[in-house]
Amino acid sequence: MSRVGKSPVILPSGVTALIQGRMATIKGPKGQLTHQVPESLAIKLVDNRIEVVVAAPGDKVDALHGTHRV
């Protein structure tokens, strides 16, 4: 499992996140970003941080885990 993928993304003040299934929408003072993760990964919003977790383990999934931090 990726060390980069394990670390959460902390949302700064003024930034909001909306998680709908595998789709994450981040809004802030400089604009909006929408990102969809593969089916083998899942994203969670906990307090003011976003976590990317492995839903289905495997070699290819482990390679994607660190590259899909929102």
Using CA atoms, how far apart are residues 49 and 16, in angstroms rounded to an integer?
10
Residue 47 domain flag:
yes
In a domain, 7, yes or no: yes
Per-residue pLDDT of the chain (70 residues), as tens digits, is 567 778 899 999 999 999 999 899 999 999 999 999 888 899 999 999 999 888 888 878 877 887 876 5
Q: 36 is in which domain, residue-wise?
A: 3-65
The predicted pLDDT at position 25 comes to 96
Residue 70 lies inside a defined structural domain of this protein: no
Contact call for residues 4 and 69 (beta carbons, < 8 A): yes
How would you classify the pairing of strands 49-54 and 16-20? unpaired
Give the pLDDT score at 24. 93
Q: How many CB atoms lie within 10 A of CB 30?
A: 8
DSSP string for 12-31: PTT-EEEEETTEEEEEETTE
Domain-embedded: residue 14: yes
Output the pLDDT for position 53.
87
Question: Has residue 54 been placed in a domain?
Answer: yes
- The residue behind tokens 């990317």 is 52
- pLDDT at residue number 70: 54
In a domain, 20, yes or no: yes
10 within a domain of the structure (yes/no): yes
How many independent structural domains does the chain possess? 1
